[in-house]
Chain A
Amino acid sequence: MSQTPTRTRPPARLGDRVFAHAASGAGITILVVLAGVAVFLLRESWPALRAPSEQVPGGEGLVAYVLPLAFGSLLGALLALLIATPLAVSIALFISHYAPRRLAQLLGYLVDLLAAVPSIIYGLWGFQTLAPATVPVARWLEANLGFIPLFAGPASITGRTMLTVGIVLAVMILPITTAIVREVFLQTPQLHEQAAMALGATRWEVIRMTVLPFGRSGIVSGSMLGLGRALGETMAVAIVLSVSGGITLNLIGTGNPSTIAANIALEFPESTGLDVNTLIATGLVLFVVTLAVNMVARWVISRRAEFSGAN
Chain B
Amino acid sequence: MAITTPQRPGTQPARGAIPLIHDTLPRRAPWLVLGGSMLAGYGLSLLLVGGNLVAAALLAAVVHTLTLGAWSRHVEGPRRATDRVVTSVVTSAFVVAMTPLVSVVLTVVTNGITRFDVEFFTFSMRGVVGEGGGAYHAILGTLIITGLATLMSVPIGLMAAVYLVEYAGRGRLGRAITFFVDVMTGIPSIVAGLFAYAMFAVFFGPGVRMGIAGAVALTVLMIPVVVRSTEEMLKLVPNRLREASLALGVPKWRTVVKVVLPTSAAGIATGVTLAVARVIGETAPLLITVGITTGTNLNPFDGRMATLPVFAYYSYVSPGVPRDPYTDRAWTAALVLIIIVMVLNLAARLISRLFSPKTGR
A interface residue numbers (CB < 8 A to B): 13, 15-16, 18-20, 22-31, 33-34, 36-37, 40-41, 43-44, 86-87, 90-91, 93-95, 98-99, 107, 109-111, 113-114, 116-125, 127-130, 133, 136, 171, 174, 178, 202-205, 207, 225, 228-229, 231-235, 239, 261, 264-265, 268-269, 272-273, 276, 279-280, 283, 286-287, 290-291, 293-295, 297-298, 302, 308-311
Chain A residues closer than 8 Å to B207, beta-carbon distance: 272, 276
Of listed B207, B229, B252, B288, residue having the most chain A CB within 10 A:
B288
Chain A residues closer than 8 Å to B189, beta-carbon distance: 119, 232, 234
A90 touching B341, Cβ below 8 Å: no
A234–B160 CA distance with the chains assembled, in angstroms: 29
Within 8 A of A (CB), among B212-264: 220, 223-225, 227-229, 232, 251-254, 256-257
**Hey, what's the 0/1 contact readout for B196-213 against A, CB within 8 Å counting as 1?**
011101100011000000
Picked from B90, B182, B277, the residue with its CB within 8 Å of the CB of A116 is B277
B101 touching A31, Cβ below 8 Å: no
Q: A110-B98, A124-B331, A268-B288 are in contact. Are A117 and B338 (CB under 8 A)?
A: yes
Picked from B87, B224, B284, B291, the residue with its CB within 8 Å of the CB of A265 is B284
A308 touching B228, Cβ below 8 Å: yes
Query: Could you jot down 21 A-B contacts, CB within 8 Å?
Result: A19-B253, A23-B160, A23-B166, A23-B167, A25-B159, A26-B160, A26-B162, A27-B168, A27-B173, A36-B195, A41-B194, A95-B94, A178-B97, A234-B189, A239-B317, A265-B190, A269-B288, A280-B198, A283-B191, A290-B187, A291-B186
Tell me the smallest distance from the CB of B346 to a CB of chain A, in Å.
10
Chain B residues closer than 8 Å to A129, beta-carbon distance: 103-104, 107
A286 touching B191, Cβ below 8 Å: yes
B252 touching A16, Cβ below 8 Å: yes
A13–B103 CA distance with the chains assembled, in angstroms: 59
A204 touching B93, Cβ below 8 Å: no
A13–B201 CA distance with the chains assembled, in angstroms: 43
Chain B residues closer than 8 Å to A178, beta-carbon distance: 97
Q: A23-B160, A272-B206 are in contact. Are A30 and B227 (CB under 8 A)?
A: yes
The residue of chain A having its C-beta at the shortest distance from the C-beta of B280 within the complex is A118
Tell me the smallest distance from the CB of A181 to a CB of chain B, in Å.
12
A90 touching B253, Cβ below 8 Å: no
Q: A31-B176, A40-B195, A308-B182 are in contact. List 19 more A-B contacts (CB 8 A).
A: A15-B253, A20-B167, A23-B159, A27-B164, A27-B168, A34-B184, A44-B194, A44-B197, A91-B94, A94-B91, A118-B309, A119-B281, A129-B107, A202-B80, A204-B86, A264-B288, A269-B287, A295-B183, A310-B181
Nearest first, the 9 closest Cβ-Cβ pairs linking A and B are A232-B188, A118-B281, A90-B93, A26-B159, A19-B253, A310-B228, A23-B163, A294-B186, A44-B198
Residue B82 CB within 8 A of the other chain:
yes
B312 touching A311, Cβ below 8 Å: no
B194 touching A133, Cβ below 8 Å: no
A18–B254 CA distance with the chains assembled, in angstroms: 12
Chain A residues closer than 8 Å to B158, beta-carbon distance: 26
Chain B residues closer than 8 Å to A93, beta-carbon distance: 90
Residue B283 CB within 8 A of the other chain:
yes
B188 touching A286, Cβ below 8 Å: yes
The residue of chain B having its C-beta at the shortest distance from the C-beta of A226 within the complex is B186
Residue B345 CB within 8 A of the other chain:
yes
Picked from A41, A113, A225, A276, the residue with its CB within 8 Å of the CB of B101 is A113
Chain A residues closer than 8 Å to B349, beta-carbon distance: 109
**Hey, what's the 0/1 contact readout for B75-100 against A, CB within 8 Å counting as 1?**
00001101100110111011011101
B156 touching A30, Cβ below 8 Å: yes
Within 8 A of A (CB), among B44-103: 49, 54, 79-80, 82-83, 86-87, 89-91, 93-94, 96-98, 100-101, 103
B185 touching A309, Cβ below 8 Å: yes
The residue of chain B having its C-beta at the shortest distance from the C-beta of A310 within the complex is B228
Q: A41-B194, A121-B108, A129-B103 are in contact. Are A16 and B251 (CB under 8 A)?
A: yes
Chain A residues closer than 8 Å to B316, beta-carbon distance: 124, 127, 239
B80 touching A23, Cβ below 8 Å: no
B interface residue numbers (CB < 8 A to A): 49, 54, 79-80, 82-83, 86-87, 89-91, 93-94, 96-98, 100-101, 103-104, 107-108, 111, 155-160, 162-164, 166-168, 173-174, 176-177, 179-192, 194-195, 197-199, 201-202, 206-207, 220, 223-225, 227-229, 232, 251-254, 256-257, 271, 277-278, 280-284, 287-288, 291, 309, 312-313, 316-317, 330-331, 334, 337-338, 341-342, 345, 349
A41 touching B191, Cβ below 8 Å: yes
A216–B173 CA distance with the chains assembled, in angstroms: 30
A174–B100 CA distance with the chains assembled, in angstroms: 11
Tell me the smallest distance from the CB of B308 to a CB of chain A, in Å.
9
B282 touching A118, Cβ below 8 Å: yes
Tell me the smallest distance from the CB of A101 to a CB of chain B, in Å.
14
Chain B residues closer than 8 Å to A119, beta-carbon distance: 189, 281-284
Tell me the smallest distance from the CB of B332 to a CB of chain A, in Å.
11
A116 touching B345, Cβ below 8 Å: yes
A116–B104 CA distance with the chains assembled, in angstroms: 12
A229 touching B82, Cβ below 8 Å: no
Chain A residues closer than 8 Å to B179, beta-carbon distance: 298, 302
A232–B345 CA distance with the chains assembled, in angstroms: 24
Of listed B174, B187, B337, residue having the most chain A CB within 10 A:
B187
Chain B residues closer than 8 Å to A280, beta-carbon distance: 194, 197-198
B182 touching A310, Cβ below 8 Å: yes
Chain B residues closer than 8 Å to A232, beta-carbon distance: 186-191
Of listed A26, A41, A93, A229, residue having the most chain B CB within 10 A:
A26
Chain B residues closer than 8 Å to A283, beta-carbon distance: 190-191, 194
Q: A30-B223, A91-B93, A310-B182 are in contact. Are A235 and B283 (CB under 8 A)?
A: yes
